[in-house]
Structure 1
Amino acid sequence: MTSTRRLCALALAASACLSGLSVFPGLAMAAEAAAEPAAAAAVLAPNPNLLVQGIPAIPQALAAEVARYTDFRGHSFVDWHPTKREMLVSHRAAGGNTSQLFSLAAPVAGKLSEPRKLTDAADPVSRASYEPKQGRYIVFERANGGDEVAQLYRLNEGAAPVQLTPADERHALIGWLHAGGELIYASTPLDRTAKGGSRAEVTTTFWIVNPESSEPLKARRKLAELPGGGWFGGQLSWDDKQLALTRYISATESEIWLMDLSSAKLRQLLPAAGDAKASYFSAGFSHDNKQLWFSSDRFGEFRELQRMQLASGKSQRVSAAIPWDASGVSFSHDGKTVAAQFNVEGRNELRLFDAASAKPLPTPRLPAGNLGAAYFDHGRGELAFSINNAQGPSQVYSLKLAKSAKAGKAQVEAWTQSYAPPGVDTAKFPEQQIIRWKSFDGLSISGLLTQPPADKFPGKRPVLISIHGGPESQASIGFLARNNYFVMEQGIALIQPNVRGSSGFGKTFLSLDNGFKREDSVKDIGALLDWIATQPHLDASRVLIMGGSYGGYMTLATATHYADRIAGSIDVVGISHFVTFLTNTESYRRDLRRVEYGDERDPAMRAHLEQISPLTNASKIRKPLFVVQGKNDPRVPYTEAEQIVAKVRELGTPVWYLRADNEGHGFSRKENQDFQFYSMILFMRETLLKP
């Protein structure tokens, strides 16, 4: 029986689910025999790309009820046009299924311009660049079905996209030569093109090509082939002679290398011989090509903005007075101003520096919220940036600095307006609050708490703990999108913890979960459950765990360690067994993940990974489990989901399973996101919100 037929047959069971009764496969099969054809019309059938197991029928009434929480739409900045005051943005249009590229002219007399759609495909597009001299065409990246095998395409106005790269590798746009006409990109081979379906060694190849060539594969020239899959970034010197590259080894170790473009020779710039290991990320060259700006944590816990005199090798600490990680550096085209972002307890903030003296400039006042990518345009000294906050998704603005940035005068102008469906007052969405608790070893752990409105939901509230992925990531302040439904309409308190191993809290904290210390982060969730029990407005008897990717592992691990303290768990693209994960993840990621999780080739580590994996401990998962997975996931292969689903189901615990055959590491298509959302609501009603 197909999943669609089963859902249609379960129309009668849907009303039981909505009233709080148990609806699991046994009851579903009984309801199937009693279902009437008329009832099927009231059921939302999944689209053909969805595999649905154990999930009750989705009533059309539920989809209609929550529709106003499924269509928030914002904009992301992509690139500035080189000669006009206009830009590329990424946006999901009304009725659209994925984000696409749009051309956006500058506002006129305060009135926003209408975006003009440039791409239209089943897969999302969010990364692109104008041809840098006249903007005659763009080059963009697009993968297929969530497989992350990005290809490069040239798009001329009014013409179909032209693929520039071979389909049997994944590619990344690095940058354009300043002289124009040619760009550099990087390519990495795939397991599926290797003999035996796996690669013992991975390389990254850098190419230079004219995108307007009639035969780009024949016209491209190889610059260098480098060992490993951790090469990224790529900032060109202004004279097109050197390319700065970052070689990523782990979350706490990386290097900066310089490539001579005429000879393709490489030399390691940082760390210098004799220096201790640290993280280094290249940011860009000074306008005179004599300095390289970069960020590094070699002097302390956080990544400081620094610059090096290339001739002498001497470095200067630029942001030593700012105790937070620097990122997202952009340089004005005249070389006078540097814009950088700093992660301040989960909120990115803008700082400006004088490029000549490296001294800080007055910080302009920006709209409230979390700063997104910020980039200077090609000539006017105008900075594009995005902001999102609790009251809305990302909006794009520009910042015009005064002729003298030292004067501190600046003009902020909105280029886009985010969209919220009728019937939703986003102004009422609550702000996130920072909370802290002590873990098992006395370490202070923090997270973000979003409380439902007390006047609408008095008394102790059920809790949804949502754990971020990474693990080198961070729960940050910003728009909660669909999660606002759980808070505003279901009265659920949302907690987003930053357990040990999260980024943004210093390099020591970042390393506290590595290797044999993996389960210490799970104990941080145990301590959070203790903290919840002490809070007068939170109900420790009604707690649901949810997480994606590494957060999915954390969810499954919590379900094995604290089954008696949770109502259920939702695992999204999560790791269920570390050894099978490390064996089956794409080879270009494997060594990078071994540094974090442990090397399964070492017998002692392999035994440890076997011991702590949720699949090994599946018998301890005694509360309902919901698993969500993309079939094309190259990071956490879908087999991780299917093996935990089969094992837990075999042991008698109820399992819901949702797999999308046209998705990868998480769902990017709105129709799939919607079905996942409806299913989650039913799961919460069945577990967390049961009387």
Structure 2
Amino acid sequence: MAGDTPADISRYLLASGASAPQLSPDGQDVVFRSSITGTPQLWTLPVAGGAPRQLTFGNGVTFARWMPDSSGILYGADNNGDEQESYLFISRDGSSEREIFSATQGGFRSLGDIGSDNDSLFLASTERTGLHYDIYQGSISSGDLQLIFEGNYGNFARALSPDGRYLVVTETVGEDSDYLYLLDTTTRELRVVSQPESRANHGDGGFAWSPDSQTLYMSSNTDREFAAVVAYDVIDGRFESLVESEFDLADVQLCGENGAFLVWTENRNGFDVLGGRHLASGSSIAFPAIPEGVYSLSCSQQSSTLIVGVNGWQTPGDIHAIDLLGGVGKPLVDSNLAGIQVESLVRPESITMVARDGVELQGLLYLPLGGDQASPPPVIFEVHGGPTAQSRASFDPVSQYHVARGIAVFKPNVRGSTGFGRTYVKLDDQKQRLDSVRDLVDMLDFFKTDGRVDAFRAAVSGGSYGGYMVNAVLANYPSAFAAGVSRYGVADWVTALQVASPALKASDRIEYGDIRDPKWRAFYTVNSPIRQADKIRVPVLYSHGVMDPRIDIYETEVMVRTLRANGIEAPYIKVPDEGHGWRKLGNRLFYYRRQAEFLEAHLGIRD
């Protein structure tokens, strides 16, 4: 093991910061989420400076949205991760709070926007059928909900125009793509904005309306490999490309008085870079230096302040305020590293390699500091979920702990991951899914000759879809990895696609095929890990949350029983008060200690 003995894993898990910061419309305060108390809660602080103040104290908060007049915040909370949210209103100072919409059994919601009257709101909900997302208009004061558009599978309310006439609506078309519409809130007529034959994504990170409601700004990869910043003219119905790049652009914001500034993020192999311009002159905005990582943006058209949330490899959650007029920034919230020395944290390196069929693959490699080249470290392949997601340079306390203990961590972006072009993200669709599983083995083979890690002492780990990848690669390539960790992962695609939550069903038909079709049922009957589990020959740690609304816990338990019946070590951790992932600090501390012990035992790490 390289270097000094690291802190206990609890130190890494206690490292904390702010997430999802939002600037109030009047530009005076920021609301953000923090789990420093053990569950996600809302906190606020003034942009001018001062101490953060906790605003909520109940169930874990899932989202927050300022009222247009900055008088208070609408937020969501669910029950132990079941994703069935209640909507609540809390005043700006936290002195009054009330429930607007209670959770409905089996009903899922997705907030769109709040009207300038500070009362009307628009959301998508499955409460009519339990499956299809419809669009509703509600009243915050009365708690009434009125159906205004009947949807089919995934139709979601997004951004409302300032004049209240048009609501942006997206229709899910696969995990990575959608169609784009404008819903007239008065006539309830739906106008097609973009319905490309070749799948595309619109508005990654959100939509921004001009003050006069005539122009809609967004990111889009329609007719191009990488998402650009585009503007849609509502009057003439045309798109104009404003900023293009060889990387994906996202999180488009219109900031400042009369929307003077256009800002966005650029995703360069997992690291974000800020971009922006003055709309009137077209000149670029000069941004001050902020820590590396993944950024979230928020601003107001009443202020020249841009709020940047930073989650980076050495930053669990900073908030920075940048004056777009002067180009000067200041930190509002600094991450708490719980006593971990920042110099001990490892910056990931972007690594590329070529799969056996010629596709270029990428991933992020975390190497222990001060390692001995003559004795390379064992490695954990940590596979992201999704599948349409990307391993990025965000803070990962568990990976940093493993690296401090002398284990390298590699985060693969197999085919089907986002961030590498529209073609790449579709390479795992439907019957090509097993090609992405094979990518893990090709990546491992690359490291056998690369020499930076000991690829003959390798484990594979992942949660959700990443858990499926663990199950699948261990069943299809039994001799590749020495051990596995599957957290709340898919094992039976037939069951998973049948019982998936409505939001997932909306995209699953494109990503995986329609399970109602006998062709796809037959395909997944054969190609599901639950029917291949008897091929697994290495120890696997399994875990699942009882409240999981996305993947049935039954799938994990069948995998455990099958491996144990074959004499394969298969410890199992059932978490009663969690859903799809571990939100609560106590559960995270309990679980990840045992995961670390399991992996170290099977990779030959000893104190």
Query: Shorter-chain TM-score: what band?
Result: over 0.9
Shift of the alpha carbon at 1:81?
2.8
**Residues 166 and 665 of structure 1: CA distance in aligned 2, closer, same or farther (over 3 Å):** closer
Structure 1 residue 212 corresponds to structure 2 residue 141:
yes
Shift of the alpha carbon at 1:478?
2.4
Shift of the alpha carbon at 1:84?
6.0
Distance 1:84 1:474 in 2: 32
- Secondary structure of 1:541's partner? coil
2:381 to 465, 488, 510: 465
The residue identity in structure 2 corresponding to 1:546 is S
Residues 176, 184 of structure 1: 8 Å contact kept: yes
Aligned positions of 1:282-297 closer than 5 A? 283-297=207-221
Aligned positions of 1:472-551 closer than 5 A? 472-488=388-404, 490-551=405-466
Distance 1:354 1:680 in 2: 49
The residue identity in structure 1 corresponding to 2:136 is F
Aligned positions of 1:297-316 closer than 5 A? 297-316=221-240
2:42 to 101, 104, 118: 101
276-285 vs 426-435, which moves further: 276-285
The residue identity in structure 2 corresponding to 1:117 is Q
- Per-residue CA shift, 1:430-469, capped at 9, x if unaligned? 2100111111201111101000012589722111000001
Structure 1 residue 130 corresponds to structure 2 residue 66:
yes
Distance 2:6 2:590 in 1: 9
| TM-score computed with the length of structure 1 as normaliser | 0.82
Shift of the alpha carbon at 1:153?
0.6
Distance 1:84 1:375 in 2: 10
Shift of the alpha carbon at 1:562?
2.6
Aligned positions of 1:370-381 closer than 5 A? 370-381=293-304
Aligned residue pair count: 596
Shift of the alpha carbon at 1:588?
4.2
Residues 457, 491 of structure 1: 8 Å contact kept: no
Distance 2:537 2:379 in 1: 19
**Residues 223 and 650 of structure 1: CA distance in aligned 2, closer, same or farther (over 3 Å):** same
**Residues 329 and 512 of structure 1: CA distance in aligned 2, closer, same or farther (over 3 Å):** same
Residues 350, 363 of structure 1: 8 Å contact kept: no
Shift of the alpha carbon at 1:671?
0.6
The residue identity in structure 2 corresponding to 1:427 is E
- Per-residue CA shift, 1:469-507, capped at 9, x if unaligned? 10000001122223211101x200100000000001111
Structure 1 residue 657 corresponds to structure 2 residue 572:
yes
- Per-residue CA shift, 1:629-670, capped at 9, x if unaligned? 111111112122112112222222111111111111111101
- Per-residue CA shift, 1:267-315, capped at 9, x if unaligned? 212137xx65433337232222222223322221112111122222222
Distance 1:143 1:529 in 2: 40
- Secondary structure of 2:440's partner? helix
Structure 1 residue 240 corresponds to structure 2 residue 170:
no
Aligned positions of 1:629-668 closer than 5 A? 629-668=544-583
The residue identity in structure 1 corresponding to 2:72 is Y
**Residues 343 and 286 of structure 1: CA distance in aligned 2, closer, same or farther (over 3 Å):** same
Distance 1:148 1:126 in 2: 8
Runs (4+) off by over 4 Å: 455-458
Shift of the alpha carbon at 1:147?
0.7
The residue identity in structure 1 corresponding to 2:588 is Q
Structure 1 residue 142 corresponds to structure 2 residue 77:
yes
Distance 2:66 2:209 in 1: 21
Shift of the alpha carbon at 1:143?
1.1
Structure 1 residue 226 corresponds to structure 2 residue 226:
no
The residue identity in structure 2 corresponding to 1:185 is L
Identity of aligned residues (%): 26
The residue identity in structure 1 corresponding to 2:127 is P
- Secondary structure of 1:461's partner? coil
- Secondary structure of 1:539's partner? coil
State which structure, 1 or 2, has the greater radius of gyration over its C-alpha atoms.
1
Shift of the alpha carbon at 1:265?
1.8
Aligned positions of 1:131-280 closer than 5 A? 131-133=67-69, 135-156=70-91, 157-168=94-105, 169-189=107-127, 202-209=132-139, 211-213=140-142, 216=143, 219-228=144-153, 230-271=154-195, 276-280=198-202
The residue identity in structure 1 corresponding to 2:252 is V
- Secondary structure of 1:686's partner? helix
Distance 1:606 1:131 in 2: 46
1:600 to 502, 511, 515: 515
Structure 1 residue 419 corresponds to structure 2 residue 314:
no
Distance 2:298 2:337 in 1: 26
The residue identity in structure 1 corresponding to 2:67 is E
- Secondary structure of 1:615's partner? helix
- Per-residue CA shift, 1:27-81, capped at 9, x if unaligned? xxxxxxxxxxxxxxxxxxxxxxxxxxxxxxxxxxx99943322210111243223
Residues 264, 276 of structure 2: 8 Å contact kept: yes
The residue identity in structure 1 corresponding to 2:164 is D
Unaligned ranges ≥5, structure 2: none
The residue identity in structure 2 corresponding to 1:187 is S
Aligned positions of 1:400-439 closer than 5 A? 400-402=323-325, 409-422=326-339, 424-439=340-355
Residues 145, 662 of structure 1: 8 Å contact kept: yes
**Residues 280 and 250 of structure 1: CA distance in aligned 2, closer, same or farther (over 3 Å):** same
Residues 350, 371 of structure 1: 8 Å contact kept: no
**Residues 237 and 591 of structure 1: CA distance in aligned 2, closer, same or farther (over 3 Å):** closer
**Residues 63 and 341 of structure 1: CA distance in aligned 2, closer, same or farther (over 3 Å):** closer
**Residues 664 and 360 of structure 1: CA distance in aligned 2, closer, same or farther (over 3 Å):** farther
The residue identity in structure 1 corresponding to 2:28 is R
The residue identity in structure 2 corresponding to 1:70 is L
Counterpart of 1:114 in structure 2 is 51
RMSD: 2.3
Residues 516, 605 of structure 1: 8 Å contact kept: no
Shift of the alpha carbon at 1:317?
1.0
- Per-residue CA shift, 1:563-609, capped at 9, x if unaligned? 22321100011110111111222244224112112222333332221
Residues 244, 284 of structure 1: 8 Å contact kept: no
- Per-residue CA shift, 1:411-447, capped at 9, x if unaligned? 101101110122x212221210011111120111110
Unaligned ranges ≥5, structure 1: 1-61, 403-408
521-530 vs 585-594, which moves further: 585-594
Residues 246, 256 of structure 1: 8 Å contact kept: yes
